[in-house]
Amino acid sequence: MTSFKIYSLLLVKNEADIIRESLLAAAEWSDKVIVMDNGSEDGTWEIVQQLALTNPRIVPFMQYKGAFHIGLRAKAFKAFRHEMSSKDWWCVRLDADEFFRDNPREFLAKLPKRYSVVKKQSTDYVLTHEDVEAGFLTGDFAKDRDFIVHYLPEKRKERRFMRHRSCLFWHASWRYPHPMGCTAPQCISVDHYQYRSPQQMQGRFSTRQQAKHDGCGSFLHENGTDWTDYLWTNQILEEQTSLMNNLSEQFAQSTDVLYQKRNTIKRIGQHFVVKSFALPSWWKRIIYSISPSKARRSFIYAQRLGSITPKPVAYKETRKAGILHESYYISRVSPCTHVLKEVIKNKEFPQRMRIFADFGRFTAALHEQGILHADYSMGNVLFEPSETDTCFQLVDLNRMRFKQRINCRKGCRNFERIDTDHEALSVMARAYAQARGYNEEECVRLVLKMRWRKHKK
């Protein structure tokens, strides 16, 4: 019997379909499951209170009806930290839709003392259109669990456990307490049921969209326009599983090359695009062994960008002796069928100037959100024209910048790699200025000046 305590911090909202099973499972290995409710309206909080009457390990800590923010768990951490010692552990993030395959108490007991952080490795279950059409999902997880059988081939990793130390501090704007310490190389296995029924998916979508609208600072990866955007098809899921299991072989065999210079981009089947990054120099490979590779950065940034980039699928790395050897970024095929350089090079392209004006407004919208593409060239912008507007998507994402303060000069400089004629640049600049409320003539002057300097170099 292990002597340390585990305190689990659970934040819930509208999880009535799963909360009973989740709490009872967590109470088997937690000394306390400290529950915070963020304004549930479906009876979740009442179920928590009811279970607490018969299970003393379940602690209904508080109900918070304000807007969600990422540091809510810090409130529970501060309230209970005086009960913890240096031999104890926090489950700093217990989610109602996760069930541990490995017993956390046994896992942590075997962990060397030099490690202070443990990540989970999750099997992410999904629903398909065929699942929904079959009509066997009731909305009660206990009844539906055996019917939820499809899962994504890649395993997501995220921090879950942290050893308690007296120096830990958790600011309300932080996702986790700090300082973290060393992360264990072994991950603990989790089954993740974030999609469970049409009813639950609709509620989840609405809740997270509202939280994003309220400026919660989280859920940036939630980029669908409707809950059905998160449904798969059996065929695409099978193709993705096959691709992830045999990525190197399928990439080598594909002859559908979209781009080939230093890096290579190929289309695999009907639904996927794979970018293979060239093997970097030795010193960069060593750097990428301790910091995110280009493939990983591309995947992370794509999740943040949402619908303005092709839908991210996964990234994959292979290493030899811990050093990066191969890296791939996989996305879905873009609905945009043109590249910006087509309209730049072809002066007869239909509605050419309107597309440039739309591009100026698109760039302004990015900059207003603090998003800067540091490799903003005509080959890294996809587009699809329509009668009323132009849809744009960004690619080559490993040099994206977020939370930038982009003033007029910095914004105009972002056009410097758009290699086109003065008339087209002026149209872009005027549309950009109008969208951001800047002086049009000044923006035209700056854009042309920046482009001339870049061309001169």
**Over the stretch 349-394, which tens digit does the pLDDT of each residue have?**
999 999 999 999 999 999 999 999 999 999 999 999 988 889 999 9
Q: What is the pLDDT of residue 214?
A: 57
Query: Which regions of the chain are under pLDDT 50?
Result: 1, 218-220
Q: How far apart are CA 221 and CA 289, in angstroms?
A: 25
Which residues, in sequence order, are CB contacts of 336 under 8 Å at separation 6+? 382, 383, 384, 391, 392, 393
Identify the H or E element spanning 59: strand 58-63
CATH class assigned to 245-332: alpha beta
Q: How far apart are CA 369 and CA 349, in angstroms?
A: 30
- CATH of span 338-456: 1.10.510
The count of C-alpha atoms lying within 13 angstroms of the C-alpha of 271, restricted to the half-sphere facing its C-beta, is 15
Judge residue 369's burial from the number of C-beta atoms within 10 Å of its C-beta, 0-12 exposed, 13-18 middle, 19 or more buried: middle
Strand order in the sheet with 257-260: 257-260, 264-268, 272-276, 323-332, 312-320
Q: What is the pLDDT of residue 219?
A: 47
The DSSP string of 306-351 is GGGSPPEEEEEEEEETTEEEEEEEEEEPPS--EEHHHHHH-TTSTT
Q: How far apart are CA 198 and CA 139, in angstroms?
A: 8
- CATH of span 6-213: 3.90.550
Q: What is the pLDDT of residue 223?
A: 57
Judge residue 226's burial from the number of C-beta atoms within 10 Å of its C-beta, 0-12 exposed, 13-18 middle, 19 or more buried: exposed
pLDDT, tens digit, 9 for 90 and up, residues 275-314? 999 987 777 777 777 788 899 999 999 988 988 999 999 9
Closest Cα to residue 84, out of 168, 145, 5, 171?
5
Backbone φ and ψ for 239, nearest 5 degrees, come out as -65, -40
Is residue 197 classed as helix, strand or coil in its secondary structure?
coil
Q: What is the pLDDT of residue 248?
A: 93
Q: How far apart are CA 158 and CA 290, in angstroms?
A: 16
Q: 176 near 89, Cβ under 8 Å? A: no
- 37's tokens: 């409710």
Q: Where are the domains of the chain?
A: 6-213, 245-332, 338-456
* Side chain identity at residue 206, one-letter code: S
Q: 13 near 52, Cβ under 8 Å? A: no
